[in-house]
Every structure is written in C-alpha cells, then in structure tokens.
Amino acid sequence: MATTTLFQFPPTYNFPPFFTPQPNTNTRQAQLQKWSSLIQAWCRHHRQYRLSLVEAVDSPLFHNAALRKRLDLREARDVIDWMVKSEEEGGGGRRAEWIDSSSSGSQGPKSVAWIWWRRPEEWADVLVDWVEGTGQKGAVLTVYELVQGEATVSQEFHGMDNDVMLKALSVLAKRGKAHVFGSEGQEGVKFF
C-alpha cells in the first residue's frame, strides 16, 4: 500500500558524512542509530515490511541524488546487521531480521530483511488492543480478514504483510491469547 504524501527526510540525510562510515566508535554508533531510525521511518511511511537491499541502494532511502552520496550494498548490509543485534550486543534493538534467501527468492544471503518499525511483539500488543476494543474475544477470523477485511480498514495493521501478521499471531499464541490453525495460505485465528 503506497502513500501519497512525500517522505520527510531528517536533517542528517543532507549532511555528506552521514553516508560515510565513521571511524570513531561513539560517532559510528550514533550514525548507525540515525540510519536505523531513518530506515524504520521510511518503511513505516511506505507501509513496507520487507526491504530488498539490492533495490533499496538505488532508491532515495540510500541514495541522496542532490548530494551525489549513497550507501553501497556492503554498507547497507552493515547497517541492517547492526539493526538485527539486540542492545545488549551493541546493536539496534532487533529492529531488523534477515530473511532466509531460500524463502525470499533473493539473490543471496543478506539481501532481503524484515524491517521492524514495530516488532512482532509490538504488533501483538496492537492486535490485543483491537481485539479487546472491538469485542473480538472468542471470535474466529481468518488472517485474510485481519489483513484485508473491512473491519480493520482503520487499523494500522490493515494491509500488513501476511508473514508479519503470522509472526504477531504466533506471539499471541505463545502468550495464550490466541490459537492459530489451518494450512498455509488459509490460516485462521481464535482470540482468547
């Protein structure tokens, strides 16, 4: 689902050193945090859950044409690698997850990643609020109804990637708040 409003880049996007890996550890950490925030905001704005780095390195996300500066594929991978790590590991708080190249149909390892502008646990919380707010406890719904149904048009998760929805529902199942059943592509869920 594309948006019609223009994405507003942060001021650092127009600062040439933002596109060059910084040698000082503290400066590099701050730079990686800013890249992580930018990538999350970009994906959220464009309602994008999967990010193909091969495609993204030529997009405005990683290429500032006015400055003639860009992150190359290797550096973009380094940023995503940082986003994958937890804070305890010196990373970006698990705000990304590499998608296995065999399941993503990509051109090799570390070429497509989930970008967690909301982690599956956070999406699970959003779903619980919706279930409780709309009286859906005890209801049985299909994943399709949750993602594409009329009842969810006003919800942030409307139009969500099915795999992301299934990850969020898996979190709810582990918490004992939902039961997911059915075969691939025809999943249903009962909320408790």
pTM to 2 decimal places: 0.89
The amino acid at residue 124 is A
Give the model's pLDDT for residue 184: 87
Least confident of 25-34, 106-115, 140-149, 155-164: 106-115
Do 83 and 103 contact (CB within 8 A), yes or no? no
Do 188 and 136 contact (CB within 8 A), yes or no? no
Q: Are residues 93 and 33 in the same domain?
A: yes
Do 127 and 157 contact (CB within 8 A), yes or no? yes
Q: Are residues 125 and 181 in the same domain?
A: yes
Tens digit of each residue's pLDDT (9 = 90 or more) over 134-158: 999 999 999 999 999 999 999 999 9
Identify the band that residue 104 occupies on the pLDDT scale cut at 50, 70 and 90: very low
Question: 90, 115, 140: which is the final residue of a domain?
Answer: 115
- pLDDT over 90 for what percent of the chain? 88
The number of angstroms, rounded, from the C-alpha of 112 to the middle of its chain's C-alpha atoms is 11
182: CATH: 1.10.10.10
Neighbours of 63 (CB within 10 A): 16
Q: What is the mean pLDDT of residues 98-118?
A: 80
Do 65 and 13 contact (CB within 8 A), yes or no? no
Q: Give the torsion through C-alpha atoms of 138, 149, 51, 42, to 10 deg.
A: -100
Q: Are residues 19 and 96 in the same domain?
A: yes
